[in-house]
Each structure stands twice: as C-alpha cells, then as structure tokens.
Amino acid sequence: MQVYVFRRLLNIFPTLIGLSLIVFLMMRVIPGDATALILEESPTAVRKDELRAELGLDKPLWEQYTLWITGVARGDLGTSFWTNRPVTEGIQRTLPVTVELAAIASMVALVVALPFGILSAVKQDTIWDYVCRSISIAALSVPNFYLGTLVIVIPAVLWKWVPPVTYRPIWEDPLTNLQQFWLPALVIGASASATLMRMTRSAMLEVMRQDYIRTALAKGLTHRTVVLRHALKNSLIPVVTVFGALVAGLLTGTVITESIFNLPGMGRLTIDAIAQRDYPQIQANVLLFGLIYTLANLAVDLSYVVLNPRIRYG
C-alpha cells in the first residue's frame, strides 16, 4: 500500500508540470495583457515597455516559464501584478471560503442523495421511485445561476429577507456566516445530490440483483438488514467515485455561485485574475485546482480498500 501511495504521489508532479505549461501558454495566447489594463487604471504609470520589463513580460516565453516554475519548486508561486503581493496571500484569504462552501454543499448532497437513492432502488417502479427520479432530473435540469437567483429573489419578495451581503468568517460571527452560506450550499448541493442520487439508485439496483442478496433473503434476514448491511456497502464504490469527483468539482467550480452570493472565494479570485490578466495569480490558482483533483482521485482510490477489503494495491 505504501509503495502504491508513493508512486501515485510521484505521478502528481508530471501532471502538475503539464498543467502549468498549458495554463502558462494559454494566458499568453489570449488577447490583451496586464500592462495595458494597469496603464488604463493608472494614468501616471510608467510607459508600457518599462512596465513590461518591470513585470518580466519582456523576456522570452521559455525564460518566463523557467523562472516561474523554478520559483514554484522553491515554494514561491509568484507576485500578483495588481496588488504587488505574493499570490499565496490571495489563496489564503479565499480558499477557506470555498472549502466551507464545498463542505456544506457536500453534506447537503450526501444527506439528500443516499436515503432517496436507496429508497428509489428499493421501491423500484413505484410512486416513490418515480418521485425521486423526477426530482433528480429536475435538479439536474435547472442551472445553478438560475436556481441561485430564485432563492435570492423569492425570499426577498415574499418575506423581505436577503442573505447578508458582507462576508463574515465563521470564527467571528457564526450566525451571519451560516446565513450567508446555507443558500449557496443548497443551490450547489441540489445538482450534486441529483447526480449522486442517480448513481446510488443504479448501484443499489445492480447489487440487489446479485445471487448473494437473494441467498441472504432466503436465509430469513430482514429486507432492512439485507439492504443496509449487505447491499449498501457493496454498492458504495461507484458512489464514492462520483462523490470524490463532485467534491473536487465543488472546490474548483463554484465561480458562478460565489459571484451570485457575493462570496470572496477561489472562484471569484480566479475570474477577477483572468479579467485583469494577472498571470501569476491565475497560474497559481489553476495549479492548486489541479493538485486538489489529483489528491481527490487518490483519496477515492484509497477508500476502495476500506469499502472492499478484497481490493489490494501493490
């Protein structure tokens, strides 16, 4: 197991290097650059050529990339073009917001998806199954930006209530923090729970058709015991796979929801950096997103051993 984990951790490095090269080249290909935007915002700024030299943009692309990637290897992700501060400060400020949002949304998805997915499978082709499937299809069909707008507008019109606009960390004001997070978490968790519910139902149906399930029922075990003790555990591997991908997606893909609910998370930071052509901030953020995805995949693979002891990694 230790050898397998070590190999997987080593494989992360070429993945991140390839990702860093792609995002570096993509940012240089898109029209516009940071110097033009900075000079527009600051009429007294130095001339464009001098500013490019100051930011290191006058160097050949291979030299720019080499300087940046060697800095990353030393733990220096670069300095923001706009704030002139290390990009890690922006990540440290916004990452906790995104992690909290993803954690609450993940809990919402699990609490909704597992029981309703099991119910839909156990009550296959009944009214309960049709209701659960209809809800999951509806949740997948409604875009997050539309659902987010609805959950803001409807309470404001009917009850004159809107979520707090100014972000407050949970350690400063827990009540205000939760008031600001529960609606966006519900919006994100709705689509995530729909995906997870459908996977739970599909996996449960496949397991419930196995011979050992029929044998357990024939031996006199109650249907509840068979479902919860035997069928559920053996159906969790595909569910965990999907859940791992969903969690990684929640940590890296909450841009629209953060913008709608005015949450200062990683998504908004990345969008602002793209609009400002803040290359170091964009490159650092994308590199972090790639690391999150690779570690999430590793965590999912390791969880298989817990769910099914017959699985061995060597």
Look at residue 313 and tell me whether its pLDDT is greater than 80: no
Q: What is the pLDDT of residue 166?
A: 76
Residues 204 and 280 in one domain: yes
- Compute the average pLDDT of residues 233-242: 84
On whether both 45 and 118 belong to a single domain, the answer is no
Sequence-ordered list of residues with C-beta below 8 angstroms from that of 85, at least 6 positions apart, any chain: 79
Provide CB contacts within 8 A for 142, sequence distance 6+.
190, 191
Q: How many domains, the chain?
A: 2
Residues 180 and 236 in one domain: yes
Q: Which of 90, 122, 138, 143 is nearest to 266 (CA)?
A: 90
Shared domain for 152 and 6, answered yes or no, is no
Residue 62 near residue 83 (C-beta atoms within 8 A) = no
Q: Which residues make Cβ contacts (< 8 Å) with residue 16, sequence separation at least 6?
A: 287, 290, 291, 294
Same domain, 37 and 146: no
Share of the chain above pLDDT 70, in %: 94
Band (pLDDT 50/70/90 cuts) for residue 45 is: low
Q: Tell me how crowded residue 136 is: count the other CB atoms within 10 A of its CB.
A: 26
- Residue-wise pLDDT for 261-279, tens only, equals 888 888 888 888 888 888 8
Query: What average pLDDT does the segment 217-226 reach?
Result: 82
Query: pTM (2 decimals)?
Result: 0.84
Given a cut of 70, whether residue 309 has pLDDT beyond it is no
**Residue 80: inside a domain:** no
Give the three-class secondary structure for 235. coil
Q: How far apart are CA 83 and CA 90, in angstroms?
A: 10
Q: Report residue 163's pLDDT band, with 50, 70 and 90 as the boundaries.
A: confident
**Which of 14-28, 68-82, 96-110, 241-255 has the lowest average pLDDT?**
241-255
Which residues, in sequence order, are bridge partners of residue 79? 86
CB 267 within 8 A of CB 184: no
Q: Can you give the pLDDT at residue 165?
A: 72
